[in-house]
């Protein structure tokens, strides 16, 4: 016969449900939490005798309302969000019918599954710590719904259950670490599609006036980089992401058609395949590791050109590196780049045509300017220098708050009217002027610079480091990077965006709570970010390749027999350690609370001159003590009566109330 869940057990169950559901509030419909509170509140009222058990009709209505709520939430079916929401709804409604302990245990086991499920949404170190806390609370609830120490108060029971849960989890840590290190890294057997409405962050696949400056107002982290050798100069840190060849008069895009990520990946494997034969690699190599944050997009950002790269990525003829799947989790990339390399000394006809195309009949004033400057110079490099000098001499301004340029002839509007813009304005207009003069050119978008973390010895690149620059193709030099922004705001590449816009005070102006604005908070944030980066790199980045490297370092050469022997030795050592620890920590049965209180009672009377002999019964000792201490006779006899009742007639008195009464009487003797 299954026992019913007590009122205290339901409190434990409610606490466990709240702990499990809380992190899902940031990813799933927020109305699921009130549903949980409503269901748990009803259950508590039933236990307190203030409400009746919900009938089948009530349960059916609640299930229909919950299902309708999921449909109206706009979640895609099937998807991870929809399945998680459905499971959470069942998790909440299950508490309505929790009567017996087996029902509570089912709820707790679902809670364990949900803790694991949340790691599909985030794998940050904070999420791991909270997941561990949820496991402790769930295990404490599992203990709490099955047992309760009667002589403990409620607070003592809570501490006992939590301590026992924590000890049980700590005992599992060695086994968990061994499984993490030795278990094969296998691909998932099944998967659910992620929601298409998930927010995409970072650089997008098109560039219009106003797009990149929006990123310039965000302090979200984009990626972190560790260099294996000397770190390049700040002004050389151009992190290449996308290449824009097509311009429709207002917006720059990768191709004339709007391709999704799958189509872009297909193009990089067919028409725009990367060929290492087109690169000459003079100069020193730069080897580094980058850990990219989840963005919902496949774009990766590397130093140009990336020659060697590891990971599930694609390389393109335009020297981009792209993940095969959108980034729904932190992504580790190891790469080697040659910043001084020469690229495409012989330009492919397709790439040349893409780098020269311009929309017909757009921006006539810019076309006329390009023709005039070309006639004045007559050579590509002289023409480039002339255009850059024009940016530097005519009062152009670099700003995060540029004016709007309208829907037509945006290049004309910027070059001749507003003359105030962000990097996208300068890169786009520069490429237009190059193409108008017959010089192949293209826009490159990514990030520039980054914040060096001295403690962790890595570079943190944020969204406000987003940048656009240009590349021009020159005979005998190939593709050459040209950044017209440096002419107008040289501090942008040397010191970062904050220095470039310090005069107008627009840096993170919309981020009221940004830690970058307070020096000591920024320092503290860097310290915390160092720990988080270690977590990203060594825990989340522990894949099959790193596992193989570790095993090779331990075993020299890999074989099934060696790995099995090492794993067996580790697991055997853990089992032996458990046996030794259990033997060392085994203690005799703990003395009952009433006996401990009686010993304190005897000690208190001994201080007053009344010593109990080993052969005295409690009643005889009480008579002797009362005769010697007549003023305390009532307290002595009452303490002895309660003590004897607990020892010899436990069914006649509640153990918790008896212990509380003994403590009160003992206090009167001290």
Please report, to the nearest 10 degrees, the dihedral formed by the alpha carbons of residues 59, 61, 66, 72 taken in order: 170
In whole angstroms, what is the distance from residue 297 CA to residue 287 CA? 24
Cβ distance 482 to 470 under 8 Å? yes
Q: Which residues does the annotation mark as catalytic?
A: 423, 467, 483
- Residue 142: burial class (beta carbons within 10 Å; 0-12, 13-18, 19+): buried
H/E element, 334: strand 331-337
DSSP 507: T
Report the alpha-carbon distance of residue 670 to residue 657 in Å, rounded.
20
Q: Which of 169, 174, 145, 172 is nearest to 157 (CA)?
A: 145
Q: Which residue(s) pair with 186 in the sheet?
A: none
Among residues 4, 530, 445, which one has the least CA distance to residue 244? 445
CB 206 within 8 A of CB 251: yes
Nearest C-alpha neighbor of 28 from the set 68, 65, 79: 79
**Which run of H or E residues covers position 478?**
strand 478-482
Neighbouring C-beta atoms of residue 206, cutoff 10 Å: 16
Per DSSP, 73 falls in state T
Three-class secondary structure of residue 308 per DSSP: strand
State in Å, rounded, how far the first CA of the chain is from the last one: 47
Distance CA 640, CA 622 (A): 7
* Tokens at 149, concatenated: 């120490």
Is the separation of the CB atoms in 511 and 219 below 8 Å? yes
Q: Give the separation between CA 256 and CA 263, rounded to whole angstroms.
A: 13
How far apart are the C-alpha atoms of 61 and 63, rounded to whole Å?
5
Dihedral sign from CA coordinates of 616, 622, 628, 629: positive
Query: DSSP alpha helices (H): ranges in 455-592?
Result: 485-488, 491-495, 497-500, 519-534, 544-555, 560-585
Closest-CA residue to 19 (of 140, 166, 160, 100): 140
């Amino acid at each position: 016969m299954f026992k019913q869940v007590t009122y205290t057990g339901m409190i434990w169950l409610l606490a466990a449900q709240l702990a499990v559901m809380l992190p899902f509030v940031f990813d799933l419909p927020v109305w699921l939490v009130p549903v949980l509170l409503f269901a748990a509140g009803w259950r508590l009222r039933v236990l307190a005798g203030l409400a009746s058990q919900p009938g089948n009709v009530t349960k059916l209505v609640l299930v229909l309302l919950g299902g309708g709520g999921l449909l109206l939430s706009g979640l895609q079916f099937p998807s991870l969000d929809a399945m998680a929401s459905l499971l959470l709804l069942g998790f909440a409604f299950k508490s309505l019918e929790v009567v017996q302990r087996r029902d509570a245990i089912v709820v707790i086991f679902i809670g364990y599954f949900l803790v694991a499920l949340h790691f599909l949404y985030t794998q940050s170190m904070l999420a791991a710590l909270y997941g561990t806390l949820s496991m402790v609370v769930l295990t404490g609830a599992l203990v709490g719904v099955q047992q309760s120490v009667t002589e403990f108060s409620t607070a003592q029971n809570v501490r006992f259950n939590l301590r026992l849960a924590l000890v049980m989890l700590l005992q599992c840590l060695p086994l968990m670490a061994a499984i993490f290190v030795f278990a094969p890294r296998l691909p998932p057997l099944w998967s659910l599609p992620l929601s298409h409405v998930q927010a995409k962050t970072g650089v997008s696949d098109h560039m219009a006036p106003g797009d990149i400056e929006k990123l310039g107002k965000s302090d979200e982290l984009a990626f972190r980089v560790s260099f294996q050798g000397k770190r390049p100069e700040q002004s050389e840190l151009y992190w290449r992401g996308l290449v824009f060849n097509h311009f429709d008069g207002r917006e720059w895009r990768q191709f004339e058609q709007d391709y999704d990520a799958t189509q872009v990946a297909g193009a990089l494997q067919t028409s725009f395949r990367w060929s290492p034969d087109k690169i000459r690699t003079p100069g020193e190599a730069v080897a580094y590791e980058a850990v990219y944050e989840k963005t919902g997009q496949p774009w990766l950002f590397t130093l140009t050109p990336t020659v060697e790269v590891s990971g599930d990525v694609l390389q393109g003829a335009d020297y981009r590196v792209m993940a095969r799947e959108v980034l729904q989790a932190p992504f580790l990339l190891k790469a080697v780049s040659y910043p001084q390399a020469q690229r495409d000394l012989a330009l492919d006809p397709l790439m040349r045509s893409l780098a020269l195309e311009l929309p017909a009949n757009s921006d006539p004033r810019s076309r006329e300017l390009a023709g005039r400057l070309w006639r004045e110079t007559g050579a590509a490099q002289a023409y480039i220098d002339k255009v850059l000098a024009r940016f530097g001499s005519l009062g152009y301004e670099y700003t995060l708050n540029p004016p709007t340029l309208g829907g037509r002839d945006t290049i004309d509007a910027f070059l001749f009217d507003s003359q105030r813009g962000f990097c996208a304005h300068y890169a786009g207009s520069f490429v237009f002027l190059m193409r108008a003069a017959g010089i192949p050119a293209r826009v490159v978008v990514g990030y520039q610079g980054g914040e060096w973390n001295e403690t962790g010895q890595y570079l943190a690149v944020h969204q406000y480091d987003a940048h656009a620059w240009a590349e021009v193709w020159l005979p005998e030099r190939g593709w050459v990077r040209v950044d017209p922004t440096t002419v107008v705001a040289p501090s942008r590449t040397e010191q970062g965006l904050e220095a470039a816009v310090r005069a107008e005070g627009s840096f993170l102006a919309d981020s009221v709570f940004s830690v970058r604005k307070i020096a000591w908070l920024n320092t503290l944030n860097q310290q915390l970010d160092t720990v988080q980066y270690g977590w990203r790199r060594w825990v989340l980045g522990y894949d099959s390749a790193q596992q193989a490297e570790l095993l090779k370092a331990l075993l020299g050469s890999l074989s099934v027999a060696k790995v099995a022997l090492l794993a067996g030795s580790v697991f055997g050592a853990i089992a032996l350690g458990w046996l030794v620890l259990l033997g060392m920590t085994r203690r005799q049965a703990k003395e009952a609370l009433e006996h401990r209180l009686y010993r304190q009672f005897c000690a208190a009377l001994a201080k007053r001159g009344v010593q109990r002999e080993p052969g005295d019964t409690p009643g005889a000792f009480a008579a002797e003590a009362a005769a010697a201490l007549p003023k305390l006779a009532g307290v002595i006899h009452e303490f002895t009566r309660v003590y004897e009742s607990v020892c010899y007639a436990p069914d006649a008195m509640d153990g918790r109330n008896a212990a509380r009464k003994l403590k009160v009487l003992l206090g009167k003797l001290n």
